[in-house]
Amino acid sequence: MSFGWAAETGAVFRKEVLGELRGRHGLFTSLLFSVMTVAALGMASARTAPEPTLAAGMLWIALLFAAITGLARTFILEEEQGTGDLLRLWAKPGPVFWGKLLYNFVLVLFVAVLVVPLFSLFVGIRPVNLPLALAGVVTGSAGLAAAISVCGAFVSRSSSRGALAGVISIPVLLPVIFLGVGAMRIAFGDAGTSGWISVAGLAGIAMAFFALGPYLFAAVWN
């Protein structure tokens, strides 16, 4: 990794952070959807702790809402605001992709760190395997950020980018959700030994998107 490449990536990341601080279009939207989802799930469970498998599915519904409402727009927003051409003149596609992906990962991880304790409070279930729960949240956040970022980058220059991003994200996100539920199910106390295998699967999916994403984005970006 050259110094210039890292500097451009850092500059794109700073641009995304400053844009979020000014507009607050990603973080607040993600927090609103996730907190309201957790509150609704807590009221539906009526303070009766659900089974670990159901609790894991409920948690991932909240995390998915938090991710899918804001992450794809990170790539789409440039085209909607008409600043994509300026960014293409200023930076190479690789650093643009990695800077935006890094921002997406920080965003979803920040939301997840807030949502998981709220979920435990409202729903009434707590992880019995804390290291597995932490690993599942981190690798799951990386998988969500990578998958949605790739989908957003892939459709960023299409005319129906908003709807198309949602359609493309569905099959891409299914393995992430499946493995995330598998990890959190064991962390919440369900019987089985597949929790760390699910974490490894989430890490593998994230790395696959990390490797594939820059090439797809460069083809679309140019």
pLDDT, one tens digit per residue, over 17-40 is 887 777 666 677 777 777 888 888
Q: Which is more confidently placed, 180 or 29? A: 180
- What pLDDT digit, counting tens, does each position of 100-112 carry? 889 889 888 888 8
H and E: helices and strands count for the chain: 9, 0
Tell me the pLDDT of the chain averaged across its residues: 81
Round to whole Å and give the CA distance between 145 and 16: 14
| Tokens representing residue 26 in the block | 């990603």
pLDDT grade, residue 138 (50/70/90)? very high
5-9, 60-64, 153-157: segment of lowest average pLDDT: 153-157
Highest mean pLDDT: which range of 34-43, 62-71, 203-212: 203-212
151 secondary structure, DSSP code: H
CB-CB contact of 199 with 183 (8 Å): yes
